[in-house]
Amino acid sequence: MRKNRYDDAFTTEGDGDPLGGLVNLFDAAMVFAVALMVAFVIQSRMTEFLTAEDVTYVKNAGRPDMEIIVKKDNKVTRFKSENTSGSGKGQRVGIAYQLENGEIIYVPENK
Which tens digits make up the pLDDT trace of 72-97? 888 888 888 776 666 677 787 888 88
Mean pLDDT of the chain: 78
Quick check: 7 pLDDT over 60? no
pLDDT score for 63: 79
Strand partners, 57: 69
pLDDT score for 15: 58
- Delimit the domains of the chain by residue range: 21-50, 51-83
Q: Do residues 93 and 110 lie in contact, with contact meaning Cβ atoms separated by under 8 Å?
A: no
Quick check: 67 pLDDT over 80? yes
pLDDT score for 80: 85
Q: Do residues 46 and 73 lie in contact, with contact meaning Cβ atoms separated by under 8 Å?
A: no
Share of the chain above pLDDT 90, in %: 7
Quick check: 1 pLDDT over 70? no
- The Cβ-side half-sphere exposure at 82, using a 13 Å CA radius, reads 5
Q: How far is CA 67 from CA 63, 70, 82, in A?
A: 9, 10, 10
SS3 call for 107: strand
Task: Label each residue of 46-104 as H, E or C.
Answer: CHHHHCCCCEEEEECCCCCCCEEEEEECCEEEEEECCCCCCCCCCCCCEEEEECCCCCE
| Cβ-proximal residues to 46 (8 Å cutoff; 6+ apart), any chain | 57
pLDDT confidence band for 14 (50 / 70 / 90): low
